[in-house]
Amino acid sequence: MTEELRDHDVPADAGASPGVAPVVLGRELSDAELARTLAATVSTGVLSTMAVDHPGTPFGSVGPFGLDGSARPVLCISELAEHTRNLRADPRSSLLVARPFTPDGDPLAGPRVTLLGRSELVPDDDVAEAREAHLAGNPHAAYYIDYGDFSLWRLEIEAIRFVGGYGRMSWVDVAGWRAAEPDPVAPIATGAIDHLNADHAEACLLMARHLGQRPDATSATVTAIDRYGLDLVATGPDGPGRVRLPFDEPLTEAAAVRPATVTLARRARQAASA
Amino acid sequence: MTEELRDHDVPADAGASPGVAPVVLGRELSDAELARTLAATVSTGVLSTMAVDHPGTPFGSVGPFGLDGSARPVLCISELAEHTRNLRADPRSSLLVARPFTPDGDPLAGPRVTLLGRSELVPDDDVAEAREAHLAGNPHAAYYIDYGDFSLWRLEIEAIRFVGGYGRMSWVDVAGWRAAEPDPVAPIATGAIDHLNADHAEACLLMARHLGQRPDATSATVTAIDRYGLDLVATGPDGPGRVRLPFDEPLTEAAAVRPATVTLARRARQAASA
């Protein structure tokens, strides 16, 4: 994997706040893990195919999908649709997976992944598994999956482009994508973050001060939680700065967030009173 | 425009309900108008470009946009991004515009449009207008539109594929797209529908019975409103059926929905008591 952290070309007068250098302790989710986590929570992508009626022009269309056991997207598409005609003429295609674009959120701030390769009709022997994989991602297909004009196709991935947000992007290798697990904490992360900030602000501040090398911090806000640890923004006299704290070991289920954060809080209190 | 209404290949045992033949009176939004209405309410599409690193393979990426005065999408893209490298090597591209894919909604039931053509750097003389058009659609770009690595590009549209939902699709001609207006009623349609169904169910039933050629109807629910009229589903002894009723003239603003529906209701009551 080629990790790329690039800087935008910011005008000199843009007035970015200086802030405090980040403190990053322990492992973080890889781009492969971030991409698999995204694809586990989003079940409609955009399929790009080659427009058979407009040679050389790529054609985007709505592509509900599920992932099969080899992390290949499985689509259920109709012979009535342009993308199916296109794929029958040229299998080269990609699937973009992104969070829903809401009017309020900045669409470029969130993660997205483009899976590039060749789409093929699912071979007969694999149809049962592919059908299950598609329906698991897209239950609406139950209404039409057995219609005569719909078939299951799968994307054989050859390259993967991940963008984590502004300035963070990489090519993820396909074996790494297959091997990566979606973060088991993702489904409850937002709730856990809200709970920590609402009910345990004092403990979070102690974590930043005594575990996160920010003894000057006067406030701390949790901004992310994943299987490997949590992110805080700790603010002190010199401004805000990121603090990343690891859990003792990677969590294997969402329910493990609570004891893992209790452990961090206890350790921070012990350090504070030592 | 080639209107296509195609039937899916439904298995004989699928048990679709027979229902009642639709009654469609008056004009309906054209596919060009539906597409422009969609593009007026959605400001992030998916850009498909030709992957310069993977020859012949189309590449989907997130594309916030605004429409300029000629209804061309204006994008603001960074030299750090793959799609910009791709467009510099091959301008052929498309932009898919669809409603956000929510977990609950069927992603294939809603409208979407693919604008195919060639993307080009906005010429200097047009940058001021294009900048305004992009920012009107995507205010988040205010943070980066003046960064040195971002430039404005516009898509010169050569072909347009519209899909209205299951089985409804057409190629919309480009002149028709340019000339079509977004439906002025769209921003308030959901609220108006809810209000009519909650507070004026009796009037809606009279409309179905006495204006919509469904004297047998025992209930009626408004399902859509646009500048040309409203849609009801009227249910009677033989099941549900669509009824489309026209307003006296096309509405030019959202505020005209109220008097137009009051007029329909009054006329239905007069017919009922005649």
ipTM of the complex: 0.90
**Which residues in B lie closer than 8 A to residue A42 (C-beta atoms)?**
101
Partner-chain contact A161 B59, CB within 8 Å: yes
Cβ A95–B60 below 8 Å, yes or no?
yes
> How do the residues of chain B divide into helix, strand and coil, expressed in percent and rounded to 5?
35, 35, 35
Please give the pLDDT value at position B9: 74
CB A152 within 8 A of CB A123: no
Q: Are B11 and A148 in contact (CB under 8 A)?
A: yes
Q: What is the pLDDT of residue A11?
A: 66
Residue A72, judged by CB atoms within 10 A of its CB (0-12, 13-18, 19+), counts as buried
The two counts, helices (H) then strands (E), for chain A are: 7, 12
The structure's pTM equals 0.91
A106 to chain B: closest CA residue? B140
**Which residue among A54, A147, A159 sits closest to B159, beta carbon to beta carbon?**
A54
Q: What whole-number distance in Å separates Cα of residue B44 and Cα of residue B137?
A: 8
Point out the residues of chain B with pLDDT beneath 50: 1, 16
Residues A173, A142: Cα–Cα separation, whole Å:
33
Task: Output the six-digit token pair for B245.
Answer: 């009723």
Phi, psi of B84 (to 5 degrees): -70, -45
Residue B156 confidence (pLDDT): 98
Distance from CA of A28 to the nearest CA of B (A): 24
Task: Look at strands A73-78 and A58-67 and give their pairing.
Answer: antiparallel
- The answer to whether B251 and B236 are in contact (CB under 8 A) is no
Q: How do the pLDDT tens digits run along chain A, 274 residues long?
A: 455 666 777 666 555 455 789 999 999 999 999 999 999 999 999 999 999 999 999 999 999 999 999 999 999 999 989 999 999 999 999 999 999 887 778 889 899 999 999 999 999 999 999 999 999 999 999 989 998 899 999 999 999 999 998 878 999 999 999 999 999 999 999 999 999 999 999 999 999 999 999 999 999 999 999 999 999 999 999 999 999 999 999 999 999 999 999 999 999 999 999 8
Contact A48 B58 (CB under 8 A): yes
Interface contact B94-A53, CB threshold 8 A: no
Of A11, A108, A146, the CB nearest to B62: A108
In this complex, do B48 and A58 lie within 8 Å of one another by their Cβ atoms?
yes
Sort strands A168-172 and A219-226 into parallel, antiparallel or unpaired. unpaired
Residues of B in contact with A94 (CB under 8 A): 51, 57-60
pLDDT at A18: 57
Residues of A in contact with B93 (CB under 8 A): 57-58
Query: For residue B213, which amino acid is it?
Result: Q
- In a 13 Å sphere around the CA of B253, the CA atoms on its Cβ side amount to 3
- Which chain A residues are closer than 8 Å to B92 by Cβ? 54, 56-58
Q: How many residues does chain A have?
A: 274
Contacts of B79 in chain A (CB under 8 A): 9
Q: Looking at CA atoms only, how far is residue A188 from chain B in angstroms?
A: 16
Best of B41, B101, B102, B163 to substitute, by most chain A Cβ atoms within 10 angstroms, is B101
Alpha carbon A147 to chain centroid, angstroms: 33
CA distance A256 to A272: 25
Determine the Cα–Cα distance for residues A224 and A247; give it in Å rounded to an integer.
Answer: 13
**What pLDDT does B18 receive?**
57
* Spatial CA neighbour of B261 closest among B216, B226, B234, B236: B226
Select from A6, A100, A147 the Cβ nearest to the Cβ of B80: A6
* Smallest Cα distance from B269 to chain A, Å: 40
DSSP letter assigned to residue A130: H
The sign of the CA dihedral B80, B85, B91, B94 is: negative
How far apart, in whole angstroms, are the C-alpha atoms of residue B110 and residue B222? Answer: 18
A148 and B11 within 8 Å at the Cβ level: the answer is: yes
Determine the distance in angstroms separating the CA of A257 from the nearest CA of chain B, rounded to an integer: 25
Where do the H-state alpha helices sit in chain A? 31-41, 82-89, 127-137, 174-179, 186-199, 201-210, 257-273
- Give the DSSP letter of residue B186: H
Closest alpha carbon to A221 in A237, A211, A208: A208
What pLDDT is attached to residue B79? 92
Chain B interface test: which of A4, A17, A44, A99 (most B C-beta within 10 Å): A44
Contact B11 A147 (CB under 8 A): yes
